[in-house]
Amino acid sequence: MKSERAIIVAYGDVNRAIGLRGDLPWLGQFPADMKHFVEITTGQAVIMGRNTYDSISPKFKPLRNRQNIVMTQDDSFLEAGVSVAYNLDEAFDLVETGRQGIVIGGMMAYKESVARADELGIDTIYVTEVHGEFDADAFFPDLDPNAWREVKRQDFPADERNSYPYSFVKYERI
């Protein structure tokens, strides 16, 4: 059973790197993560900050087959197929009935959603651990082991399409 509210993230597991100058540090080198992201988020509501939305290639935005919710303080932001919220509380309130609300980034959205997970009702975190150390300017926060427990892990080696070994990990709130 899927939770009603979740987080999905891919990070370099050594330093929890999630971004470098607005892009993934391993951009284009890791299709397995994109496939995993699509499988989890299709049909759901994806919640993201404005910078994350802006970093998505124009040919893919808004993300197809998902309710797109963008958090921004810019009152003039208006884009077809996108709902606008000013904060996480409003974003989750906009999630359509029957959809899971999933925070997909960026760093500030992750930081707040992890810190306020209990209050916001977030009980699942889907992580892709990219086994490596990456230059980054954006990072995912540490998870409190007293608040989160690992419930599933799948490990994979690097291959001809994916430049790094990786793991799909699911955490649930204790």
pLDDT score for 14: 86
Q: How many CA atoms lie within 13 A of 50 on its CB side?
A: 13
What is the per-residue pLDDT for 1? 46
Q: What is the pLDDT of residue 28?
A: 84
pTM over 0.85: yes
Burial group, residue 82, by CB count within 10 angstroms (0-12, 13-18, 19+):
middle
Q: Provide the residue count of the chain.
A: 174
Q: Residue with structure tokens 């960026």?
A: 106
Report the pLDDT value the prediction gives residue 173, as an integer from 0 to 100.
97
Question: How far apart are the C-alpha atoms of 40 and 138, rounded to whole Å?
Answer: 23
The answer to whether 106 touches 138, Cβ cutoff 8 Å, is yes
Q: Average pLDDT of each block of 10 consecutive residues along the chain (174 residues)? A: 85 94 88 96 98 92 97 95 97 97 97 98 97 94 97 97 96 97
pLDDT at position 3: 67
Report strand pairing: 5-12 vs 101-105: parallel
DSSP 8-state secondary structure symbol assigned to residue 160 = S
DSSP code per residue over 123-136:
-EEEEEEE-S----
